[in-house]
Structure 1
Amino acid sequence: MNVSFDDKQPIFQQVANIIEDDILNGTFHVDDQILSVAQFSQLFQINPATIVKGIGLLVNEGILYKKRGLGMFVTTDAKQKIQLKRRERFTKELLSDLLNEADKLGLTTQEIMDMIKRLRKD
């Protein structure tokens, strides 16, 4: 896996996002064991402490759980929790920015909807 990290957010947060993406896209399912810290560290070529911090975020959010001596596993409702979190962020950040820019451009709600429909080709 070739991952390039950016400067927009801390690397540990990007690691958490990558794991979340893998849960959302079906790479990891309920009760699946994720890669170990050592495996992630080797795969991403980053410090294990950074991986631990990223995984810790997901444990605190109830997305992963630890089985002592075995590793980290995906919780039953991980996908739903990630979707809810990301929908809230989508609404607060992306849609808010989109609407602010649309207001500056004088776009109506209908014009925005038409643009979205063209892009999605529904």
Structure 2
Amino acid sequence: MFDGREPLYVQIADQIRDDVLSGALQAEEQVMSTTQYATTFRINPATAAKAFAELVDEGVLYKRRGVGMFVAPGARETLRAERRESFFTDVVDPVLAQARVLGIDVDEIVARLREHAAHDHPTPQAGTR
């Protein structure tokens, strides 16, 4: 499961963020403890604890003393807003810069996106359901 190039604690934190974003983990839902993570994935408990600490610092998780770690209310919306901003900064802005160099008009890009979106989600034809 965790085999990327980033440090293991970063991969764990990213997996939990992804689970929150996808809805696999809901607000106020308890997450596995550091001990459970360590046992399940055969990792050092300190590694899991470091991932959890990062998520607590970001406001994705919070700790209920004596009970465990839980998904913070609003975490999904916060993560979605951060990822949307990263998407525009990391993906859209470079595409627009490259398009400018190639002389591609923004309207042409939008038309291509609409074309692809129509193939992904075709609209029902008249008379069909």
- Fold shared per TM-score above 0.5: yes
Give 2:20's aligned residue.
23
Q: Quick one: distance in 1 between partners of 2:8 and 2:99?
A: 32
Segments of 4+ in structure 1 off by > 4 A? none
Give 2:87's aligned residue.
90
Check 1:97–1:68 CA distance in 2 against 1; reply closer, same or farther (3 A cut).
same
Which SS does the other structure have where 1:100 is aligned? helix
Stretches of structure 1 lacking an aligned partner (at least 5 in a row): none
Which SS does the other structure have where 2:15 is aligned? helix
Check 1:25–1:68 CA distance in 2 against 1; reply closer, same or farther (3 A cut).
same
Task: Name the structure, 1 or 2, with higher relative contact order (CA <8 Å, separation 6+).
Answer: 1
Q: Quick one: distance in 1 between partners of 2:98 and 2:7?
A: 27
Q: Confirm or deny that 1:5 pairs with 2:16.
A: no
Q: How many residues align?
A: 119
Offset of residue 34 of structure 1: 0.6
Check 1:51–1:107 CA distance in 2 against 1; reply closer, same or farther (3 A cut).
farther
Which SS does the other structure have where 2:83 is aligned? helix
TM-score by length of 2: 0.78
Identity %: 35
Give 2:110's aligned residue.
113
